[in-house]
Each structure stands twice: as C-alpha cells, then as structure tokens.
Amino acid sequence: MKIMVPATTTNLGAGFDVFGLALDLFNEVFFSFDTDKTFIESTGKYAPDLESYDLFFEVFEFFEKKTGYRVPPVKIRQVCNIPVSSGLGSSAAVIVSALYIANVGTKANLSQRDLMKLAVELEGHPDNVVPAFVGGLVVCYQDGDVFDFERFELDFELTFLVPNFSLCTNNMRRVLPKEVSFEDAVFNIKNSCQFLAKIASGKLDDAFKYVEDRLHQSYRINQYEEMKEFVRAVVSKKPSYWFVSGSGPSICTDVKDVEGIPYLRDVLRLKVNNRGLIISK
C-alpha cells in the first residue's frame, strides 16, 4: 500500500500556531504487513539527512497506548522528498503516515478526524499536522481538549529558500518568551486577521502583505549566527514579503534573485496542495 504525505508550512508569519498550509511536495510511503519484524528504510534526495526512525516507533507506541490496539510488524519504505528539519513539515509527515499505518495495521478503523486528534495531542500544535491530512490553508484552534479548524482551498505558488543547515524544532520552541508586549500582541492580531480577510475575499496577492510577525520569528532567528546571516541576506533583496517557515530555518519569500545568499541549498517553488493525504491501494 502507498500513501503520499504533503510538506507543510506553518505560522505564515503573524498566524503563529494558527495557520498551516499544505504544499505540493510529498513524501511517498510504501508499507506492508507481510513481515514478522518491523523494518524501515528510506530513499530519495533527503534520506541521507535522516538521523533515526525513532519518531515512527514513538507514534506507534502512542497509538497503542491511546487505542489499546497493538501495531503489528510492518515493512516501511519512504521516499524522502521533503527537506529534513527545515521547517517544511518532515516530522509532521512521519506522524501522519505512522498514524495512518497503525490504523490500517490494527484495523482500528479510526476516522480521519480521530487520527487528527491523536496527531494534535502527540505533536502539540494542530497547524503542523492538520494541513497534511486535509490540504489547503488550515486555520486551527486548540484550547485544552477543544480542537477545531477551517479549511480554505487556494491556487497559489510560493517560493521557499532552504539553507544547508537545520534547526531543532523543540529547541526553537524553548527560546520563545513566556510573555510578550501588548503592542506586539495587537500587531500580530491585526496582521493575522487582515491576512485571513484577504484570503476569504480571494485577494491572495494582498494577503501576503500581512505576514510580518513580532511574536516568535526574531527570537528564533537570533539564536544562530547562520540563521541571522541567512535572513539578513534575504531581507537585503527587498522582498515584498518573507516569513520563517514553521520554526525554520527555511524562508518563504517572493525574492527572485537568490545570488549571494549564504548557506542556500535549495530553492523550492511549490503550489498549494489542496488534496492533503493521498492514499493508493
């Protein structure tokens, strides 16, 4: 059996922990239960960047704990087309694919929404995992056990600059402040609301004028000299917009001239994926 799990970009600047967007770039995951021992292997451009398969096993254990079903031995081969630890949802893709595999293997028959709830509980941030399930632009809400989202279909292409260094998502979360100023909070509220209003009105080009952030990006950027240099070079090109994808280090921007940007590894021009998780028998 084969599934295709899309890359995602989250936050979109001002929409911290709320906005998530699925992209037209997929990890392909082939799996079979015709085995007596779990075996995982990877191919594809970014496979050499993988350090372990611990997250797959963590998801399987979480699924077993929450459902009471035992995940049987499984053979998994994934084609890694999503850059690893780059803010484009490589970890979310593993979580989504592992939950789907566990659901099939155990015959638990959980609904997609139930799988999303498990993914949100495990990952902690709905904007990271929900778009990978449903596609499009997702506006997420989570407060304790209350989880909700709305989805918008978009026809838009975005450019991502992927550097040759990676950042640990958990480390990037730890550097965020416990408190922010009232002024900065209002600034982000205004931008995120205006962004969403433009999306709802079909004014996609105008929406990206409102991605500037004051809540999280500067704290993450300033943690690493390489990240500061990378962002400084992008900003020097005078883009009409830019934002850190997820917790970084990739940058989404409309910069056309990338010459001279240090550490640059890949330039990915990706359309919005409105399909989400794709399942093939």
CATH number for position 163? 3.30.70.890
Q: Do 190 and 202 fall within a single domain?
A: yes
- Residue 278, pLDDT score: 96
- Residue 66, pLDDT score: 97
Q: Do 128 and 174 fall within a single domain?
A: no
Domain count, the chain: 2
CA gap 71, 105 in Å, rounded: 6
Q: Do 115 and 139 fall within a single domain?
A: yes
| CATH number of domain containing 18 | 3.30.230.10
Q: Do 251 and 261 fall within a single domain?
A: yes
Q: Do 191 and 123 fall within a single domain?
A: no
- Residue 144, pLDDT score: 86
The model's pTM is: 0.95
Q: Do 214 and 133 fall within a single domain?
A: no
Alpha-carbon torsion, ordered 147, 148, 152, 157, to 10 deg: -10
- Are 153 and 144 in contact by the 8 Å Cβ rule? The answer is no
Along the chain (281 residues), what's the average pLDDT of each consecutive run of 10 residues?
Answer: 97 96 98 96 96 96 97 98 95 97 97 96 93 97 91 96 86 83 97 97 95 94 93 97 95 96 97 95 69
- Residue 96, pLDDT score: 98
Closest by Cα among 213, 90, 22 to 221: 213
User: Which residue range forms the structural domain that includes residue 115?
Assistant: 2-153+272-280
CA gap 278, 271 in Å, rounded: 16
Q: Do 135 and 37 fall within a single domain?
A: yes
Q: Do 94 and 223 fall within a single domain?
A: no
- Residue 129, pLDDT score: 96
Quick one: which H or E segment has residue 11?
Answer: none
Q: Do 225 and 122 fall within a single domain?
A: no
Q: Do 113 and 182 fall within a single domain?
A: no
Q: Do 131 and 208 fall within a single domain?
A: no
Alpha-carbon torsion, ordered 59, 169, 21, 276, to 10 deg: -20
Q: Do 122 and 167 fall within a single domain?
A: no
CA gap 187, 14 in Å, rounded: 8
- Are 192 and 19 in contact by the 8 Å Cβ rule? The answer is yes
Tell me, what amino acid is at 7? A
CA atoms within 13 A on the CB side of 61: 5
- Residue 167, pLDDT score: 77
Closest by Cα among 263, 217, 175, 221 to 14: 217
